[in-house]
Amino acid sequence: MSYGAFINSFASVDYHTETADTAITENIQAKDGLRLALLAGSYLNGATAHTLCFMYAKDHASYPGSARNTIDGSTAAHILSNQKVIDVYTAPRDPAGNAAAASDVVAYQLIDGTWEFNTIASVSTNAITLTNDIVGVDAEAGGTALADGAPFMIFGVVGDASYLALPLTASVVNSWGATAGGSGIVLVHPYVGEPFYVYDANATNAGFLNNLLFGYINK
């Protein structure tokens, strides 16, 4: 199926490799009101099969609002840049339903609509301490970075199994979409206006992410 009529804009990922056993990751921005779609891509795999995971935040059925959470702006200091604590309205959990914990990948929407990615260092009730400072829209100058009620997404870790997967056959170039001679959509985000965290564990033999092309679609 051709996708041209539905495209609003594009985002691309260029070449990326890492030493074997160091994960290859990419933060893919979202846009309000539009859905992320992978249109094309190319990955040269080493001698070990890998899996390219397009991680997203998904609530466990027993804990609505826990992974796809929202920011509680009632503590003014916790919505500023240049600090590490964010409060959320619902007790934070990963997509598998476990209490959110150190090393869980997260993304939160800034006041200009862009998304910032981080990891969790620790959690105390609904207060999440991040590994890195909130950069915000003012490069950590201490101004307002977050809005009350803004989305806070918990992707967790790849073991929480909230992802769309593309298998990477060993020792060949794996291609999708236009890169493979097609013209259709390869995969789409389950939710409108939310980001992807792309992850390959890159185990044993290093892989080479040549490129990925995403579109923002209105469907």
Instruction: Read off the pTM.
Output: 0.95
Structural domain contains residue 69? no
Does 65 reside within a domain? Answer: no
Residue 209 lies in a domain: yes
- CB within 8 A of 136, min separation 6: which ones? 80, 81, 82, 110, 111, 116, 143, 144, 145, 146
| Domain membership of residue 177 as a residue range | 4-56+162-217
Q: How confident is the model at residue 200 (pLDDT cuts 50, 70, 90)?
A: very high
For 140-197, what is each residue's pLDDT tens digit? 999 999 999 999 999 999 999 999 999 999 999 999 997 766 667 999 999 999 999 9
Residue 146 identity? L
Read off the pLDDT of residues 4-47 as tens digits, 9 standing for 90 and up. 658 989 999 999 999 999 999 999 999 999 999 999 999 999 99
In a domain, residue 64? The reply is: no
Mean pLDDT for all residues in the chain: 96
Please count the structural domains in the chain. Answer: 2
Tell me, yes or no, whether 148 and 167 share the same domain: no
